[in-house]
Amino acid sequence: MQYISTRGTAPVLNFEEAMLSGLARDGGLYVPKTIPQLSPDTISAMEGQRYEDIAYTVMRPFVGDVFTDTEFREIIGRAYAVFGHDARAPLKQLDQGHFLLELFHGPTLAFKDFAMQLIGQMFQTALGRKNERVTIVGATSGDTGSAAIEAFRGLSNVDVFIMYPHGRISEVQRRQMTTPTESNVHALAVDGDFDDCQARLKDMFNDFDFRDTVRLAGVNSINWGRVLAQVVYYFSAAVALGAPHRKVSFTVPTGNFGDVFAGYIAKQMGLPIDRLVVATNQNDILHRCLNGQGYHKGETVPSISPSMDIQVSSNFERALFDAYDREGPAIVQLMDELKAGGFDVSQGAMQVLQSHYTSGRASEQETSDTIARALKHSGELLCPHSAIGVKVADEERVIGTPMVTLATAHPAKFPAAVEAASGIHPPLPARMSDLYERSERVTRVPNDLDALKKHIKGHI
Ligand SMILES: Cc1ncc(COP(=O)(O)O)c(C=O)c1O
Ligand SMILES: N[C@@H](CCOP(=O)(O)O)C(=O)O
């Protein structure tokens, strides 16, 4: 399996190289050259299988000969053994025809654990046999960072630096990143928003001297391995609801577009997905774009769903690449325009995007109202991100086609917003009950590339 860049001029890599190198050297994102197909019989055979077996079938064709069959099965086994639910990603019925896919049973209580635990295992195997060391730098609006730290803490061949926007994430998210005591973990509170953190991360990748000196690696959804691991639960959920004999729709709370893009990949592989619905908060640049208003940056307004406070949605580049017939130069031009504020999508590309994605948004009040309503009607306590999904899914679902809303985080990660909306203070699981008593270790840093690079170089 070969991986090519969305900007068209970076070297073609295999899975391991793409996974370990992060951003392509032309500034683009790696995508598979071709998308493997799974036949209806193969999909049908997933019914009743363990999550780990479905994961193996779905991901194996993307990995090529980088891991042996046994190695890859063991990697998957170790990744999901730490989950707190036997089904890994259980489905719950919310209403007639509307299901919740609970993706928060991993160690840090958000969907990021599905990919990060797997990547942690893959990095360990790949780096261990080469006896190499890398510096992971990540940008987070709260959940990627905690999942990455959990997956990589204490590993001898990795240092992990996570940049988060100072004051713009929940206290639980912050404490998950600042309380680990392992010396290879470094939490950095950046004076800026998530887009600033992600922009500085991409600047570091585009500085080849720095990148090569520290042996930079990425675990954001820049990394194809992250997207790949997220494809699996679309299969497990759809098959449980009757696929491939029946179409299923998904609504995905969206920020950096990695999760919903994973759904698109599942569809390209042959999973009969009817609608892929992009659900945004008040930072609704994706919703506006998918409704034909162009992709134009505004100010990021902090919300009660902080993980989705994003304007520069990294993986939208992968969606645009396909919508523009995989023409690298078109993507280079759009990304140049984005640096200056935004771009309009051509009519042809818009038609392609709209043939795959629909969208909706939820205001702050609508998010809180949905938390209260879901609790009253179905007994389900939702996190604000999942509530945005449920609100938009209710507007977009069609009678006769099951709708699955991705519940992307546990309500206990956002206790203040959940309590304000529902009157219930969601408790943390027992294993985290002393989170508020643990001491924190974090460095405040300016939103400045040189300062960040200096800090990282000085701490590896
Ligand atoms: C809880 C939660 N929900 C939804 C999202 C949005 O996911 P994506 O960035 O893949 O669109 C995020 C952040 O990525 C998140 O942490
Ligand atoms: N919401 C994310 C933002 C980063 O997304 P990623 O999927 O590219 O890692 C977060 O929680 O950090």
Rg, Å, the chain Cα set: 20
Residue 368 forms part of a structural domain: yes
- Give distance in angstroms: CA of 279 to centre of ligand 1: 10
Is the beta carbon of 254 within 6 A of some atom in ligand 2? Answer: no
**Exposed, middle or buried, 325 (CB in 10 Å: 0-12/13-18/19+)?**
exposed
Residue 111 forms part of a structural domain: no
Q: What is the mean pLDDT of the chain?
A: 97
- Range(s) of the domain holding residue 346: 87-106+224-422
ipTM value: 0.99
Using the structure block, give the residue that is written with the tokens 């679309």: 234
User: Model confidence over 272-289: pLDDT tens digits?
Assistant: 999 999 999 999 999 999
- Give distance in angstroms: CA of 221 to centre of ligand 2: 7
Distance CA 130, CA 319 (A): 34
Residue 21 forms part of a structural domain: no
Q: Residue 217: which H helix or E strand, with range?
A: strand 216-217
pLDDT at 260: 98
Residue 218 forms part of a structural domain: no
For residue 75, report the phi and psi dihedrals to the nearest 5 degrees: -60, -45
Q: What is the CATH number of the domain that holds 367?
A: 3.40.50.1100
Enzyme catalytic residues: 112
Q: Which of 439, 435, 431 is nearest to 415 (CA)?
A: 435
Residue 57 forms part of a structural domain: no
Question: Residues 354-373, buried b or exposed e (16+ Cβ, 10 A)?
Answer: eebbbbbbbebebbbebbbb
Report how many domains make up the chain: 1
User: Model confidence over 25-69: pLDDT tens digits?
Assistant: 999 999 999 999 999 999 999 999 999 999 999 999 999 999 999
Residue 433 forms part of a structural domain: no
Whole-model pTM? Answer: 0.98
Residue 391 forms part of a structural domain: yes
Q: Which of 342, 337, 345, 299 is nearest to 195 (CA)?
A: 299
36, 56 contact by CB (below 8 A): no
Using the structure block, give the residue that is written with the tokens 């019925």: 93
Residue 63 forms part of a structural domain: no
Find the residues whose C-beta lies inside 6 A of ligand 1: 110, 142-143, 253-259, 307-308, 385, 408-409
Distance CA 177, CA 171 (A): 10
